[in-house]
Structure 1
Amino acid sequence: MNVTVIGTGYLGAVHAAGMAALGHNVLGVDADPAKIAVLARGEAPFFEPGLPELLRQTVSSGSLSFTTSLQEAAEFGDVHFVCVGTPQLEGSHSADVSFVDAVVTELASYVTRSCLIVGKSTVPVGTARRLAALARSITAAGVPVMLAWNPEFLREGFAVEDTLNPDRLVFGVSDDRSEQILRSVYAPILDKGTAVFCTDLETAELVKVAANSFLATKISFINAMAEVCEVVGADVVTLADAIGQDARIGRQFLNAGVGFGGGCLGKDIRAFRARGEELGVGEALEFLGSVESVNTRRRQRVLDLAANILDGDVAGRRIAILGASFKPNSDDVRDSPALHVARALHSRGAVVTVHDPAAIANARRAAPQLGYAGSITDAVQNADLVVHLTEWEEYQELDPGTLHSLVAAKNIIDARNALEPDDWNAAGWNFHALGRPIAPAWATTSISNLVLSEAEEEEVA
């Protein structure tokens, strides 16, 4: 099929390459000529494992090309996927759907034959039905234009896999023809037995925001438990392992730490609450305010812990930050807890040096006031405190015994609960993690030291 993907940001670029890999002729569309030029060369404009290879393959085969012209897209496509952003509206918690509206309006004005417009952007419930009416009012008389909603569930760092092998597909449609077309588009995936949920437009819109709200709630729940654990001296990791054994709860997304970030969860739960107020069901979604409040407090907890470790004041102290992206396997620093903590420490007078395997360029643009290092060893050199904030695999593989010779003081905060406390304690580090007790002296004593000699056994007897 001839497929267009309008908007080639994170979602759109991956989706366009994925559609081409499934065998369609795909035209990617974006208003940014610089981005289009990069993609047309088969290069990825952001870090995402597997995407560069997929782009090179599909662009070189001729199945994927790019343009800045929506008119060209209208002439080319039978199916048009809308993947533009829906940022938070200025001065409001509501989603800004003006980019989606603009795309549908312009596209509909150019359409001259039957086609299906498919929204993938995260939008307030009710948007799709409004856009369907808008498209019909603009297209020329006698030109049947259908509209469907097909929300995305991509995980940054796993987006290519999630596109080609999703765990489910959701089709929000208003007619049988739209469903048939979507089943044809996704036929190679459906042939693998992937679950598909065909529903109305409103349910499809809600599936996405409900999923994000639930994930955010689960993360904040375990972080709320971490707050309790810190007061009573309990261990939130063991707690999570134990409750996660319950099939009704599950262990995924029960990792306590500095909280969630990125361009989706926070924005989407705020927009969902705002839409609930507009619909008169605001009370039903009030709990999402607490979810966000818990998430924000975890960032402050890292700042308080850093100050406590450094005798009450971080001013003038050298602090190494491990991680800038909001999650591993990504260069995305939007609403990154890591970058938030780094900025806050800098504003309190600390000398901050940040390392990240992929996000340094984006972090430097977002926070030019910070120091940056190209290697972990450079970042931690003479540091009074190391703060682990993004759980990249290479940080989890660090040797604490080697690292301690580089720092000024062996203080570390594991704000992601991804490091092994016993290893760091055994190497003599002052190890702290969110929601976990500080190891007592006996916990770091080697087993051999706990075995009594014969003389000591006689003395005890």
Structure 2
Amino acid sequence: MALKITVIGTGYLGATHAAAMAELGFEVLGLDVVPEKIEMLQRGEVPMYEPGLEDLLRRHVAGLEGSSGRLRFTTDFPEVAAFGDVHFLCVNTPQKHGEYACDMSYVESALASLAPHLRGPALVVGKSTVPVGSADRLAAYLAEHAPAGGDAELAWNPEFLREGFAVRDTLHPDRIVVGVRSERAEKLLREVYATPVEEGSPFVVTDFPTAELVKTSANSFLATKISFINAMAEVCEAADGDVAKLAEAIGYDDRIGRKFLRAGIGFGGGCLPKDIRAFMARAGELGADQALTFLREIDSINMRQRGRMVELTRQALGGGPFLGKRVAVLGATFKPDSDDVRDSPALNVAGQVHLQGAQVTVYDPKGMDNARRLFPTLGYADSALEAVRGADVVLHLTEWREFRELDPQVLGEAVSAKVVLDGRNALDPEVWRKAGWTYRAMGRPTA
């Protein structure tokens, strides 16, 4: 008999996972405790922008014309427990307020709501990013509180989704990692992921702690690489070097690689910053804090880039106060192909410049509504051309394709001064200079 799958938590991770599981041919029931979110998903709408996700959802949500009908949603835990063979926990694990540590309350609450209703064999699979050691504790809780006892098992299967590529990353993952304690759990997860495994996705079987560490280790390595090239940008600024050429040269070394070596205003979003901080906090609890002291500097370099961009903007405006100056900001999201503005370096820079007296106008292709909610006092425009009108300086802070394809000649006719600061090293300096612009990028004082 075909496996039935449930997905608990239908935010960014859960909605994507539920739609992808339906695409792989499973009957899926998604659960959330927010009725408005469930109503939205039942209409085939997603509460965030993610390329391809809404189309995928509409192909499978029951009741929609032409759908497979394999995907339904509910707010009822007993219904979920009775329906599913495999239950995926996809709830949020944010940073605790005022601390580096991870807030596990949503995971614990989801498990506490599900466990009492598990009366027969079931596999509960954690996908949320959690501190190492959590799975051990949650497995013990499950065995104690599920009527099925030991037949209600736990496994850990970390997610590796990149915003903007989430659908592809779920359907065609570059690796599948499962932390299991029994052959039965491994067998069930091999069944769930049979299609991507057949297509060549590596299937890595580990214990609980290793599975938990894979995600935080991967994010820490990525953050280290980004902050490394940003540290080199600081050195290039001091030494009159060109960090873009430096990155190109070292990127040809296949031990290093070219990915994530573009210097700029640093990383943000809902994962990387909070994950490396939670990793540091957990290492401290385990008595291994010295092993991760370098992450404190990685975090520091990353945050410093935002202040450096503000100072670069001040220099471009003559070095004096921002009062009375008009600043255009292209980009509000923390990365392109997303509407996510959580811990966005772009919005952070825009906010700092605004607080220091400048009149700031922001434009982003997808993040405007979220940006307005977070920073209602900033100015917002409906297009890049409208945002730069009358500007004394233009800041390029999120590397959307739309911005790379802008015509600097047309923009030049709208601004007060043709000065562009490229906070992502993604624009073509020659194209902008030919159109009469002063182009400046971080880590490239002489470029």
- For normalisation by structure 1, the TM-score amounts to 0.94
Q: Name the amino acid aligned to 1:47.
A: Y
Which of the numbers 402, 406, 414 marks the counterpart of 2:414? 406
- For normalisation by structure 2, the TM-score amounts to 0.97
How far is 1:142 from its partner?
A: 5.1
Q: Name the amino acid aligned to 1:17.
A: A
Contact map agreement 2:139 2:153 (CA 8 A) in 1: yes
More off after superposition, 268-277 vs 55-64: 55-64
Identity of aligned residues (%): 59
Contact map agreement 1:306 1:314 (CA 8 A) in 2: no
Alignment of 1:300-449 (within 5 A): 300-312=307-319, 313-439=321-447
Which of the numbers 7, 10, 18 marks the counterpart of 1:8? 10
How far is 1:71 from its partner?
A: 1.5
Within the alignment, does 1:276 sit opposite 2:278 as a pair?
no
Within the alignment, does 1:196 sit opposite 2:198 as a pair?
no
Task: Quickly say closer, same or farther: Cα 1:168–1:283, change in 2 above 3 A.
Answer: same
Task: Quickly say closer, same or farther: Cα 1:207–1:142, change in 2 above 3 A.
Answer: closer
Q: What is the distance in 2 between the residues matched to 1:298 and 1:5?
A: 38
In structure 2, stretches of 5+ residues that fail to align are 62-66
Q: Which residue does 2:85 correspond to in 1?
A: 78
Q: What is the distance in 1 between the residues matched to 2:74 and 2:164?
A: 26
How far is 1:91 from its partner?
A: 2.3
Q: Name the amino acid aligned to 2:185.
A: S
Within the alignment, does 1:206 sit opposite 2:216 as a pair?
no
Within the alignment, does 1:295 sit opposite 2:302 as a pair?
yes
Q: What is the distance in 2 between the residues matched to 1:368 and 1:426?
A: 36
Q: Which residue does 1:262 correspond to in 2?
A: 269
Which of the numbers 130, 146, 160 marks the counterpart of 2:153? 146
How far is 1:41 from its partner?
A: 0.8
Q: Name the amino acid aligned to 2:152.
A: V
Q: What is the distance in 2 between the residues matched to 1:427 and 1:208?
A: 45
Contact map agreement 1:355 1:372 (CA 8 A) in 2: yes
Backbone CA RMSD of aligned residues: 0.9
- Aligned pairs, number: 439
Task: Quickly say closer, same or farther: Cα 1:412–1:141, change in 2 above 3 A.
Answer: closer
**Residues 123-172 of structure 1, C-alpha deviation per residue, up to 9 Å, x if partnerless?**
00000011000000101265611100000000000000001001100010
Q: Which residue does 1:453 correspond to in 2?
A: none
In structure 1, stretches of 5+ residues that fail to align are 440-461
Structure showing greater radius of gyration is 1
How far is 1:438 from its partner?
A: 3.6
Contact map agreement 1:112 1:143 (CA 8 A) in 2: no
More off after superposition, 321-330 vs 100-109: 100-109
Q: Name the amino acid aligned to 1:149.
A: W
Q: Which residue does 1:51 correspond to in 2?
A: 53
Task: Quickly say closer, same or farther: Cα 1:116–1:317, change in 2 above 3 A.
Answer: same
